[in-house]
Each structure stands twice: as C-alpha cells, then as structure tokens.
Amino acid sequence: MRIGELAERTQTSPRLLRYYEEQGLIRVGRSANGYRDYDERLVDQVVHIRGLLDAGLPTRIIKQILPCLHDPSDIHFAEATPEIMAVLESQRDRLTDRVELLTRNRDAMTAYIDSLRGCMRPVAG
C-alpha cells in the first residue's frame, strides 16, 4: 500500500511514518519503481508504536520492545542495564495506572448511559 493509505488507516501523518522508518521502528519495502511499499502488517505495528509513544516511551525503548509484540520468545535485549530496567518498570507502572483510570471512566460512562436509558422518552413516530 502507499503511504497515504497507511497514514489514513492508522491516523498517522506521512511525515511521522517516515520518521518511524528513519528510527528503525518500521521496515518498508520498495517497489520496482523505487516507491515505498507499505505492507499490511504495518497497520497494527504503527498502532502499537503510537500507543507506546502515547504512554511516554522513547523510540529507542520502543524499538527494543517491538519484537515482543509479535513473538515474545524472540527478544534479544543486549542493553538490559539497571537504568533501562527502571525505565521500563516505571513506564509499565504508568500504563497500569492509566488502564485502571480508563477502566473506571468507562465503567462510570456505562453506568451513566444505563441511567439515561431508564429515563429516556420514547421516540414519537
């Protein structure tokens, strides 16, 4: 697929997609005429990258985490220093807190919707 289609499907600008490629976060093939050819699997990968960036992880850590998304047994993490581990654990804890907050907000919204349904006026017709 072309960059415009991938950008649209992932709600990511073409500029960011090129940046992800430059950072080694995505690998892009080339067609015979030299144009970038974006594989279908990149849709999910870009969504994962965006989620990890939104969670506050830097691209250098995301690059190391990406193999885990597809095959956890294929992780090769040569730079596992105490500092890197502390960063990863901190980011994981931030994600856990965020998930809990989002879950509470979703549940509150569901309760609100349910209560609105109970007092909704019938549609005339």
| CATH code assigned at 66 | 1.10.1660.10
Q: In this model, does residue 73 exceed pLDDT 60?
A: no
One domain for residues 88 and 66: no
One domain for residues 10 and 65: yes
One domain for residues 70 and 87: no
Task: Give me the pLDDT at residue 72, please.
Answer: 52
Tens digit of pLDDT for each residue in 7-60? 999 999 999 999 999 999 999 998 899 888 999 999 999 998 998 888 878 888
Task: Give me the pLDDT at residue 88, please.
Answer: 82
Report the 10 Å Cβ neighbour count for 63.
15
Task: Give me the pLDDT at residue 101, please.
Answer: 94
Report the 10 Å Cβ neighbour count for 100.
10
Structural domain including 29 reads 1-74
One domain for residues 48 and 95: no
Contact yes or no for 46/20 (Cβ under 8 A): yes
Tens digit of pLDDT for each residue in 86-119? 888 888 898 899 899 999 999 999 999 999 998 8
One domain for residues 69 and 85: no
Task: Give me the pLDDT at residue 4, please.
Answer: 93
Q: Where are the beta strands (DSSP E) in the chain?
A: 29-30, 36-37
Task: Give me the pLDDT at residue 5, please.
Answer: 95
Domains in the chain, number: 2
One domain for residues 14 and 62: yes
